[in-house]
Each structure stands twice: as C-alpha cells, then as structure tokens.
Amino acid sequence: MRTIDNETLYYINICEKVTRTRIKDIIKFPEYNKLTIVMERGGLNKLLKNDGMKKLRNIIKEPFTVVEYSEDIKNFMSSLCHWFKYNSINIEDKKITISVNSKDKGKIIGKNASNLKWMKDIINVYFGEYNIYIE
C-alpha cells in the first residue's frame, strides 16, 4: 500500500476544495514532471461542468493530468487514454493492448515512450504489474 505524504495531502485538499469533488489520490512521478490527479468515479464530469480545470490550472502551477478511478481495469485504462484517440482496449491475463490508428501511435506512445511508461506506472499502482502494448 502506498503512503501519502504531506505534499500529496496538500494537493488533495486544494483540489477537493476547488472542484468540490472527491479525490482518490494524487500521484507525482518525478520522471514525468507532472501530477496525476485520480478522481473518484463521476468526478471528471463534475469537474468539467463546473469549470474546474480552469480553476485548478490557476492554483496548481505545475503540469497535471486528471483521470477517473474505476475498480474495473478496462474502464480505468479508458480514463487514462481519454486524452488520446484509440479504437479499443483489450485485456488478457496481465497484458493490455490498445488499438490505435497508425497516425495516432506516436501521440499515445509519447516522446521516448513517456506516455506509455506513465500509463504503465499508474496501472501498476492500483492493479499490479501489467504490460501495455500498442497496435
């Protein structure tokens, strides 16, 4: 189980006050230079309706991404990928395959595979070790 430090509690408190939604977690991987705000189910729609993204950008001065938590790994993976165009997500055993158009592969993989590594690290926090493939 992951421990939450004071900085994470600070960000969770700010995000909950500004967005009026429940925050499950905020994860900061230094190698990606951004925060990942994990909202409880239904929070993303509420955030977008209430102009919450704009409010968060004004308060949090570093890059961040917002995703919606789900206990179902396919739904959670879909939330991680909602910033990218993809056709389908298939999960078998410990393998996640994301089907994308050839022109969008670079966007979902990212420079030096940074987006792919970020998705894998987030998945590993909540669901254990999975491998992610793009086809």
Residue with tokens 């961040």: 64
The verdict on 33 and 84 lying in the same domain is no
Closest CA to 56 of 42, 69, 37, 43: 37
Q: Which of 26, 15, 58, 23 is nearest to 41 (CA)?
A: 23
Domain identity same for 64 and 102: no
Radius of gyration for the chain, computed over Cα atoms and rounded to the nearest angstrom: 15
Evaluate whether 103 touches 119 at the Cβ level (below 8 Å).
no
* Residue 84 shares a structural domain with residue 42: no
Residue 87: CATH number of its domain? 3.30.300.20
pLDDT digits (tens, 9 = 90+) for 78-119: 999 887 888 999 999 999 999 998 888 888 888 898 889 999
Does residue 74 belong to any structural domain of this protein?
A: no
User: Is the residue at 75 inside a domain?
Assistant: no
Whole-angstrom Cα distance, residue 84 to residue 104?
8
Domain, as residue range, for 19: 6-68
pLDDT band at 122 (very low <50, low <70, confident <90, very high): very high
Query: How many domains does the chain divide into?
Result: 2
> Structure pTM?
0.85
CA distance to 41, 100, 119, 124, 125, per residue, from 1 (Å): 21, 33, 19, 12, 9
The pLDDT, as a whole number, for residue 92 is: 93
Q: What is the pLDDT of residues 17-53, one digit of tens each?
A: 887 888 888 888 888 888 898 988 877 777 777 777 8
Residues 10 and 58 in one domain: yes
